[in-house]
Amino acid sequence: MDFILIDPYSGASGDMIVSALIDLGADKNYVEEKMREISDKIGNVTIVINKKKKYGICGTKMDVTSKDERKKYSEVVTLVKDSSLSIDEKNDILSIMDILITAESKVHAIKKDDIFNYDLRVADTIIDIVGSVSAYYSLEMNKKKVLSLPPSVGGGIADIGHGVMSVPAPATLEIIKRYNIPIKYGPVDSELLTPTGAAILAYFVDEFINYYSNLRITEIGYGFGSKDLDIINVLKVFSGRVDNNYIEDEISILETNIDDTTGEVISNLVDNLMKEGALDVSVIPTMMKKGRLGSLIRVICRMKDAQYFIDKIIQETGTLGVRYQPYIHRSAAIRNNYIFSVDFYGIEREISVKIAKDRKGNIIRVSAEYEDAKKIAEELNIPIRDVILITEYEVIKRYKDKRER
C-alpha cells in the first residue's frame, strides 16, 4: 500500500502544506501555474516559492503577498469554476473552501457570501487551497492512503483579528470538532494550526494516527512556516509503502466487570453493540469478590466511537465504570468476499465466501457466509454443517490446485 504521512508537530497552515508537498516532489511549475491563474484574476498578488536552508534543514518556503481585496464567496467560487483546473481539482478546492467558510460563518454568525469581506483574506486563503489541491493531484495522493499524526495547535493567546483570545481560533476549533480531528496542545505558546490548515487536513486525511508500524519511507518533504518559534517551525511529509500488506489501524478497548445483570440483558447488549458498529464484543466468565460469579464484557471499537459505546454500556448494564484503553495499534489480515459456485451433492449453488490472507498472499482462513449457508441448507434439506464444510474444502482445493499449476 502506498501512503502519504503528514507530521504536523509544528502545526499546519495552508502555505506550509503547499511548501511541504512541493518539497516532497509535487511538480512546482504545475502548482505555481494553477495558483497564478487564480491570483491573476484576483490581482495584486505575488507568489514566491523557493528552496531554502533554515534551522540547518533544506526545505521549501512559499510566501504570498497581496493587497486586502474584498470579494463575495460566490465570486471566488466562480473564479475556481471558470479556471482551467480539472473537474476533480475544482471539486476538491470548493469542498475545502466550504469546510472553511462553513466554520467561519458559524462562529462569526456571518452569511457565507460575506465571510471574505469580514474575516478571511481572499488571496491568501484561495491560493493556499488551490496550491494544496494541485500538489495533491501532482503527487497522485488520491491513489494513496493519506495519514496524519495529531496536529499541534499551540497554546497561549493570539490576536485573531477581532481581539485577543486563547488558541486555537474559534473557526479552527469548529473544524476540529466537526471532523473529529485529534489534536495536541503546545509545544509553544503561539497559534500553530490555522483554520485553512485545519480545513485542508480535514479533507485530505483518510486517518489520523498516533503511530504506524512497518512503514518504508521513500521520500521526505519539509515545508517551512513563517513564524520564528522556540521550536523548528516545519511541516514534515513522508511518502512510501507499507511492507507487511496487513491492514494497520488504531482501535480502542473497553472493559467492565458486572455481577448483577441477567444473561438476557448481556445478550441484548452484545447484539446492540455489534449492530451499532462495534468491531467485536466478548463476554468472559469471571470470579468477582466474595466468590460471586460475574462477566467481563470487552468491546473493541474504532477510537471515534469509544465514548458512544462507553455511554451505551453504562446505560444498558448499570455498571459504575468502564475501563478505557484509547490507543491500541492493530494489524489485521486482509479479508475479501468472493462468490463461488459449489456443487452440493450434484446440485450447484452460489455462495459467498470470506478469504483472509497473510502478508505473502497465503490463505490463512476460509469462511463460508453463514446466511448463505443457512439458505442453501434449508433449500436442499441438508445439514448446514455439510454446506460449510463442502464450501470451504472446495475453495481451499481450488486455490491449492491453482498454485500447483
Q: Per-residue pLDDT for 404 more than 60?
A: no
The pLDDT tens digits of the residues spanning 245-294 come to 677 778 999 999 999 899 999 999 999 999 999 999 999 999 998 899 99
Q: Per-residue pLDDT for 322 more than 70?
A: yes
Please state, for a pLDDT cut of 70, what percent of the chain lies above it: 95
CA distances 357 to 341, 365, 388, 390, Å, are 21, 7, 19, 20
Please state, for a pLDDT cut of 90, what percent of the chain lies above it: 72
CA distances 400 to 314, 395, 404, Å, are 49, 9, 6
Q: Where are the beta strands (DSSP E) in 176-333?
A: 184-185, 207-208, 215-224, 234-242, 247-258, 280-287, 293-302, 323-332
98's CB contacts (< 8 A; 6+ apart) are none
Domains of the chain: 2-245 (no CATH), 248-332 (3.30.70.1380), 334-404 (3.10.20.300)
Task: With H, G, I as helix, E, B as strand and everything else as coil, classify residue 235.
Answer: strand
Quote the pTM value.
0.69
What is the predicted pLDDT for the residue at 118?
64
Please tell me the least confidently modeled range out of 56-65, 123-132, 323-332. 323-332
Query: Do 253 and 306 form a contact (C-beta atoms < 8 A)?
Result: no
Termini Cα distance of the chain: 28
Q: What's the angle, vertex CA 392, arms to CA 390 and CA 393, rounded to 5? A: 65
Nearest to 55 by CA among 235, 237, 193, 219: 235
The pLDDT tens digits of the residues spanning 93-121 come to 999 999 999 999 999 898 988 887 666 67
DSSP track, 102-147: HHHHHHHT--GGGHHHHT--HHHHHHHHHHHHHHHHHTTGGGSEEE
> What CA–CA distance (Å, rounded) separates 105 from 195?
12
> What CA–CA distance (Å, rounded) separates 60 from 68?
25
What is the predicted pLDDT for the residue at 275?
93
Radius of gyration, alpha carbons of the chain:
27
What amino acid occupies position 94? L
197's CB contacts (< 8 A; 6+ apart) are 8, 11, 12, 13, 14, 16, 17, 151
The pLDDT tens digits of the residues spanning 118-176 come to 666 788 899 999 999 999 999 999 999 899 999 999 999 988 777 788 999 999 999 99
Nearest to 366 by CA among 378, 355, 382, 379: 355
> What CA–CA distance (Å, rounded) separates 125 from 42?
12
Element (H, E) at 343: strand 334-344
106's CB contacts (< 8 A; 6+ apart) are 174
How buried is residue 170: exposed, middle or buried, by Cβ count under 10 Å (0-12/13-18/19+)? middle
Task: With H, G, I as helix, E, B as strand and everything else as coil, classify residue 370.
Answer: helix
Mean pLDDT to the nearest integer, 303-329: 92
Nearest to 97 by CA among 111, 118, 116: 116
What is the predicted pLDDT for the residue at 331?
79
> What CA–CA distance (Å, rounded) separates 352 from 350?
7
